[in-house]
Structure 1
């Protein structure tokens, strides 16, 4: 969690479930934490550390992709189902992933019968998870993503293949270019730092609080620094 506190922000009543998305290293968990603090909400974080196959996946993707994706699918489904439980203390829920990310990753790592089985399971689960009121997509660049991955220095990410990040970057951009399921705020995050620069965070929180809940909106916080 970032050391400094976030500026407070008020969200409209129709924003009760927000999701922060982006490729590995985009800063989605950090922004989810800052946003949750700013709105005094409840946070839901992806439990990637509990996936026993993740480190092995990064060592040998072909060998461990199927186990990794199915474990994530089951874990995320359980978390999403639990969101239906009433929270008497928090009106707003913020998550650092969308259930849709299961398909984005699976189509990068699986093929043939494994992908078909994954799709079958996903199609059974997906109608039973809550729909976000808004998704915030942190659109970065492969170079910035790799820089952020190196900075956080997780042991199993030290051998991260830039080609894999490039592939995920293209897959995410393609997915959200055609995304129509919920309101979507696409943020150009390649040249901002909402941890070190408070102005970047303020601008970003302002756009989230005032997001157009009808379709897709594009935001470039860099042009609003001055």
Structure 2
């Protein structure tokens, strides 16, 4: 997939990943890959009792994301079709490290590395983050029943973990283009100029990578 754009949009819950991925797909006529969320039968229970349901929740997400990436490998990338996804598989490790018990985490890491060893990886990452107040406001606005019981402390820790993970990822993957945006300053849903700025910078990044 050398020159084929594979963009992932990442960031904590409620930051606007899917909304931005849809805008990019529409603007550039890319295939869109959306993570399965509502179909996870454990997620509602997870938000009510993280300790009890974390392993089942994370394993469901891992297996489904693996299947999606496997389909990309067999289909989209075989025909050099550009793809934009509203997640990066690395997010599994961010969530797992925060929620799983030690023994569960060790097993999970082994499975993660086996499944993702040969999977296609994005060459451009758009990283969105925002303050806890903004994340909570956006989660409330989208009104998903399954997210009503999200613990603000959990969300705050998750946001911090994303910052650390993205900083480490950027240092260890200099060949991947990373575009960062502050969700407190940029509202690409309500402000067309903000959206156009992001789309312009995405296009510029793709052109640079194609040279």
Do both share a fold (TM > 0.5)? yes
TM-score where L is the length of structure 2: 0.90
Partner of residue 39 from structure 1, selected from 28, 31, 55: 28
Within-5 A mapping of 1:4-15: 14-15=3-4
**Which runs of no fewer than 5 residues in structure 1 stay unpaired?**
1-12, 215-226
Deviation at 1:48, TM superposition (A): 1.0
Instruction: Say whether 1:199 aligns with 2:188.
Output: no
* Structure 2 residue 119 is matched with structure 1 residue 129: yes
Q: Is the 8 A contact 1:20 1:97 kept in 2?
A: yes
SS state at 2:125 partner: strand
Deviations 1:33-81 (A, max 9, x none): 0100000111000011221111111111111101001111111101011
In 2, the alpha carbon distance for the partners of 1:203 and 1:94 equals 17
Pairs within 5 Å for 1:152-171? 152-171=142-161
Corresponding pairs, count: 202
The CA distance in 2 between the partners of 1:101 and 1:136, in whole Å, is 13
Q: 1:142 aligns with which of 129, 132, 136?
A: 132
For residues 80 and 8 of structure 2, what CA distance do their matches in structure 1 show?
Answer: 16
2:62 aligned with 1:73: yes
SS of the residue corresponding to residue 97 of structure 1 reads coil
CA root-mean-square deviation:
1.8
Rounded Cα–Cα distance in structure 1 between residues aligned with 2:39 and 2:192: 32
1:99 matched to 2:89: yes
Q: Counterpart in 2 of 1:114?
A: 104
* Pairwise CA distance, 1:127: 1.3
Give the C-alpha shift of residue 159 in structure 1: 2.1
Indicate if the aligned counterparts of 1:15 and 1:134 stay in contact, CA closer than 8 A. no
Normalised to the residue count of structure 1, the TM-score between the two structures is 0.84
CA drift of 1:185 comes to 1.3
Unmatched segments (≥5 aa) in structure 2: none
CA positional deviation for 1:169: 0.4
Greater RCO structure (CA 8 Å; 6+ sep):
2
Match of 1:224 in 2: none
- Relative to structure 2, which stretch is displaced further, 173-182 or 91-100? 173-182
Q: Which runs of at least 4 in structure 1 moved beyond 3 Å after TM superposition? A: 86-90
